[in-house]
Amino acid sequence: MKGMTPMQSTSSAQPTRALTMSTVAFTVCFAVWTIFSIIGVGLKTELGLSETQFGLLIGTPVLTGSLVRVLLGVLTDRMGGRIVYVITMLAAALATFLLSFAQTYEQFLLAALGVGLAGGSFAVGVAYVSRFYPASKQGTALGIFGVGNVGAAVTKFLAPFVMLSWGWQSVALIWAAALAIMAVVFWFTTEDDPVIVQRRKESYQPKSLLGEFAPLRNVQVWRFALYYFFAFGAFVALTLWLPRYLIGVYGFDIATAGMVAAFYSVPASIFRAYGGTLSDRVGARTVLYWTFGVSLLVTAILALPASDFVVAGINGPVSLHFALSPWAFVGLVFVLGFFMSLGKAAVYKHIPVYYPQNVGAVGGLVGMIGGLGGFILPLLFGYLNDVTGIWSSCFVAIFVLVAAAFLWMHLAVRRIDRQPVGQPA
């Protein structure tokens, strides 16, 4: 395949069709992947779970979806995204169907591990879609594909009403059916990517499995992974945690909390496409600087707890009260979600440019670490709630995470700027 570009041997309609169907499929997968953000709230009461147990329950699907991303990415590099995508969706649909029969906390955790396979579809889609586009358009294409994150908003909009009307079991059954149907539709409306087609013509001999993982030794890959741990991991964590936060802090009911949380998920998903286009135009590094800078400011404000205190006034003690109103909170979270969406796209702009032959492995690792953020952070949020008793402690954790990513990026950029032109950033 020497000298072959992703666009060779494809008709003009194939890239658009591959991108469109991959995005739709990822939307359905993401809706399934975040199903516990809604049904988990009801299960918390039904099973009498602590905050930490609740965090583990909603984070378990994220754990599976993260850990399988490297494996699925490598399989996609070797076998092609079309077949791997379909198998992944069917397996996740089966697990979601079986979820409806769970009764104990342990059974829910086991079912959640299977549901999490839906999240692994991201690594498959990135490797599959990128092979249809040249480097100059990959940022935009992968940004559009990432819009599938809006599936979280679909779950938050619809699942509360389904759950309140027919019970949480109906949510699992309907979401499982939707994913199975999507798998069938995807198979009959897409084609194998041009790299796989070319390999068949050339009797391609794949490199060793160990060779697929060679780029993962680069520190740069792990730096990208930390960026994604925030941009995507914290996004998923907040997607899962916000309904619980809104109910606990502002007294919203489950339907209202789900709707408001969806308004966070929508900009954090849709604007990812704009983040990809912006990364193509001004550079991913610039986009990441803006992402981290604004996120530091917003999380610093959100981290401030509601407070009552007394100060010495001119005429005696003065009592003061500070608390973010519900709409001020929603507005700040909206801003945070918007810049997270830009950051997610900027991170993945780097990967097919610097690692064109290992998009699946590298993209899988970065996606895995990012996804682990979606598992670890809800656990941390629940633990901080139990230990501190302060709701806004979750945003303190995110502030520290953003600060660490920002500092590492800036130090790396300063070092690289002193190196010869062409070194990765």
- Give residue-wise pLDDT tens across range 318-334: 777 778 888 899 899 98
Tell me how far apart the alpha carbons of residues 343 and 370 are, in angstroms, rounded to a whole number.
12
In a domain, 87, yes or no: yes
pTM: 0.71
Q: How far apart are the first and last CA of the chain?
A: 28
> What is the pLDDT averaged over residues 238-248?
85
> What is the pLDDT averaged over residues 72-95?
90
> What is the pLDDT averaged over residues 304-309?
81
* pLDDT tens track for 112-143: 999 999 988 988 998 899 888 887 787 788 88
In a domain, 6, yes or no: no
In a domain, 3, yes or no: no
In a domain, 20, yes or no: yes
In a domain, 195, yes or no: yes
Whether 150 and 265 have beta carbons less than 8 Å apart is answered as yes
**Interstrand relation of 316-322 and 307-313 (parallel, antiparallel or unpaired):** antiparallel
Task: Report the CATH number that the domain containing residue 224 is assigned in CATH.
Answer: 1.20.1250.20
DSSP 306: P
Split into its structural domains, the chain has a count of 1
Tell me how far apart the alpha carbons of residues 179 and 239 are, in angstroms, rounded to a whole number.
20
Determine the pLDDT at residue 22.
Answer: 94
Determine the pLDDT at residue 208.
Answer: 58
* pLDDT tens track for 247-302: 888 888 878 887 787 777 776 667 877 887 888 888 888 999 999 999 999 999 99
> What is the pLDDT averaged over residues 402-412?
92
More confident residue, 42 or 121: 121
* Chain position carrying tokens 């796989």: 196
368 pLDDT band (50/70/90 cuts)? confident
Whether 39 and 168 have beta carbons less than 8 Å apart is answered as yes
In a domain, 103, yes or no: yes
Determine the pLDDT at residue 234.
Answer: 92
- State which amino acid sits at residue 363: G
Range with the poorest average pLDDT among 196-205, 302-311, 332-341, 371-380: 196-205
Whether 243 and 35 have beta carbons less than 8 Å apart is answered as no
8 pLDDT band (50/70/90 cuts)? very low
What residue numbers bound the domain in which 336 lies?
13-417
215 pLDDT band (50/70/90 cuts)? low
Whether 285 and 406 have beta carbons less than 8 Å apart is answered as no
Is 357's pLDDT higher than 90?
Answer: no
Q: What angle do CA 324, 157, 66 make, to 5 degrees?
A: 85
Whether 19 and 148 have beta carbons less than 8 Å apart is answered as no
In a domain, 4, yes or no: no
Is 82's pLDDT higher than 70?
Answer: yes
In a domain, 425, yes or no: no
